[in-house]
């Protein structure tokens, strides 16, 4: 069990000294974190970015901070944020270590949810101090991201001797540190992606269907409903389940799938999969009667096998 994180103000001895900060990978995350650290008194000194979009983000959030190559970022900064895609991170770390770009005593922070501190082992062997600080937040690449960091949870993994430094950096960015064991990082990241990424897909599909049904402002219609559903789910978990699946209204579910086949066939497989998962959870928690669940699952199986629709385990 993780030890609780203290909410008491940090003692001055526990705060990191004012640091020069560099960013390798000016995507949506890095410039926002560096700007947040700047508000806490640290000093961004270098950023690297390849695409025009990343350079624009850096210019907006970190004005007057020079754009340089990754190796030069490490040469200038005491704290380096590695904010690159997950699949790029291991190769980047190995390359920086092999070329001698990593300096002893340098704080090297990556923001990948998938990886813990172990991915930084090549840099650690070169003397770097490794931290994995993953903000559990979606980013827009604009200044609003800095404000959203207030109260944002960070999945933190680091060697025990760097625990206080990791906590301090997260708190200085306005976040809440949540300690994640190295071996639990993949599961932690899977959970976040399942909730946040798939939610965006579901909401976008719902808005498209409402627009086809003639609703002038789908976002305004969905806002209160989805806000209440999310709040209820966070407060009550499965007890918040409502709707035709949780009630066992097999006929309504069949009608829904019929509408999707006509207006959004690409959404059929997702609806059936989510309906089956919802039915399983509602049944397990006593919200759905067994006899109604049986009828519902038969409908879902029949719809899944329908000619022209997705077969078991298939999507189109």
Mean pLDDT of the chain: 91
The C-alpha atoms of residue 134 and residue 115 are separated, in whole angstroms, by: 9
Question: What's the pLDDT at 308?
Answer: 56
Indicate if the pLDDT at residue 14 is higher than 60.
no
Percent of the chain with pLDDT over 90: 88
Q: What's residue 307's pLDDT?
A: 65
**What is the model's pTM?**
0.84
Answer whether residue 112 shows pLDDT above 70: yes
Q: What is the pLDDT of residues 212-260, one digit of tens each?
A: 999 999 999 999 999 999 999 999 999 999 999 999 999 999 999 999 9
Across 85-110, b (16+ Cβ under 10 Å) vs e yields eeeebbebbeebbeeebbbeebbbbb
Cβ proximity of 156 and 132 under 8 Å: yes
Q: Residue 190: its pLDDT value, please?
A: 96
Mean of pLDDT values over 11-21: 68
């Amino acid at each position: 069990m993780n030890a609780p994180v203290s909410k008491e103000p940090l003692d001055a001895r526990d705060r990191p000294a004012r640091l020069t900060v560099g960013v390798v990978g000016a995507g949506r995350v890095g410039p926002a974190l560096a700007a947040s650290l700047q508000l806490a008194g640290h000093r961004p000194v270098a950023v690297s970015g390849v695409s025009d979009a990343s350079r624009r983000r850096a210019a907006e959030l970190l004005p007057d901070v020079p754009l340089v190559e990754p190796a030069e970022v490490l040469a200038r900064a005491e704290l380096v944020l590695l904010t690159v895609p997950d699949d790029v991170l291991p190769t980047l770390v190995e390359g920086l270590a092999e070329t001698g770009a990593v300096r002893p005593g340098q704080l090297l922070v990556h923001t990948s949810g998938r990886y813990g501190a172990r991915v930084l082992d090549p840099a650690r062997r070169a003397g770097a101090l490794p931290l994995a600080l993953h903000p559990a937040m979606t980013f827009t690449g604009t200044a609003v991201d800095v404000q959203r960091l207030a109260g944002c949870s960070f999945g933190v993994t680091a060697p025990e001797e760097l625990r206080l430094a990791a906590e301090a950096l997260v708190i200085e960015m306005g976040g809440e540190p949540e300690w994640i064991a190295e071996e639990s990082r993949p599961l932690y990241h899977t959970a976040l992606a399942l909730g946040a990424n798939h939610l965006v897909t579901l909401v976008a599909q719902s808005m498209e269907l409402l627009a086809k049904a003639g609703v002038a402002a789908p976002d305004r219609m969905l806002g209160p409903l989805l806000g209440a559903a999310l709040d209820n789910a966070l407060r009550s978990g499965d007890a918040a389940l409502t709707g035709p699946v949780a009630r066992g209204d097999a006929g309504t579910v069949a009608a829904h799938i019929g509408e999707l086949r006509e207006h959004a066939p690409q959404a059929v497989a997702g609806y059936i999969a989510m309906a089956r998962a919802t039915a399983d959870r509602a049944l397990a928690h006593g919200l759905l009667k067994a006899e109604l669940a049986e009828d519902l699952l038969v409908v879902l199986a029949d719809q899944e096998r329908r000619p022209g629709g997705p077969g078991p385990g298939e999507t189109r």
